[in-house]
Amino acid sequence: MTKLLVDNKEIEIEPGTVLLEACLRNHIYIPNLCYLPGMPHPDASCRLCFVEIDGKVVPSCTVKVNGPMRVKTDTPAVRKLQQSALRLLLSVHEVDCANCPANKQCALQEIARFLRVGLKPKGLDRLLKEPSIVSDHPFIDFYPNRCVLCGRCVRLCRTKEGRPQMNFSARGFNTVISFYGANRESMPTCEECRSCLKACPVGALVLREPARE
């Protein structure tokens, strides 16, 4: 076991544990969207899980605890970066919680509350994608303007399936999740798996209403 000091709280953790995970397990909350336990190489794409170690700001999902450390999760530098990252995410997000299946269990809402950032930040243009619903999976609808591109779904699909059924497509502001080539024959396992649906921290992947099938 190795000891570390997080915000003046001493915690003990098995060496080799990811710092983000060590904190979360000890009830020290750090905002995060893209982290998936057990993945060898974290994407560290959401840029929300910052902490300060010896005055250096780093994403905590990329740090392994291998000895004593002093970590701060609540410095002005950390909060500023987290708030900016969140504001940018929200600037490409169609905030319509009342009509979203994730309402009240949404990671984005929770993080916004925690960081005290309004869901409709001022001073940034809102860029939305067209079309707002993509139905290229036999029974899952994808909502590009709710997706935070955390990549959890894609990475899980890749580990479960070996041959991924979903991928990122396009790039930059146009990046979306795509089920291109999906059909019932090519993906007989989707019915039972549904990993992507469960992993989505927001309401971007939704089981299609039977009425629309």
Partner 1 sequence: MHEISAEEQQQIAVCIGAFAPKRGSLVPILQRIQDEFAYLSGEAMRKVAAHLGITPGEVYSVATFYNQFRFHPPGKHAIKVCLGTACHVRGGEVILENFQRKLGIREGQTTEDKEFSIDRVACVGCCALAPVALLGDKVYGHMAPSKVEGLILGIHLEKERQEREKAKHESNNS
What does 75 interact with, of partner 1, ligand SF4, ligand FES, none (CB < 5 to 8 A by kind)?
Answer: none
DSSP track, 91-113: HTS---GGG-TTTTS-HHHHHHH
Selected binder of partner 1 within 182, 193, 197, 199 (CB under 8 A): 182
Amino acid at 105: Q
| First CA to last CA distance, the chain | 53
In the chain, what are the helix, strand and coil shares in percent, each to the nearest 5? 30, 15, 55
Q: Report, in Å, the least distance between residue 85 CB and ligand FES.
A: 9
Where does residue 8 rank: exposed (0-12), middle (13-18), buried (19+ CB within 10 A)? exposed
What does 46 interact with, of ligand SF4, ligand FES, partner 1, none (CB < 5 to 8 A by kind)?
Answer: ligand FES
Tell me if residue 13 falls in helix, strand or coil. strand
Q: Is 156 in the site for ligand FES (CB under 6 A)?
A: no
CB under 8 A: which stretch of 33-41, 87-95, 168-176, 196-204 binds partner 1?
Answer: 168-176
What does 143 interact with, of ligand FES, ligand SF4, partner 1, none (CB < 5 to 8 A by kind)?
Answer: none
| Count of residues in the chain | 213
Binding site for ligand SF4 (CB under 6 A): 93, 95-97, 100, 102-103, 106, 108-109, 146-153, 177, 199-205
Give contact residues for partner 1 (rule: CB under 8 A). 130, 163-171, 178-182, 186
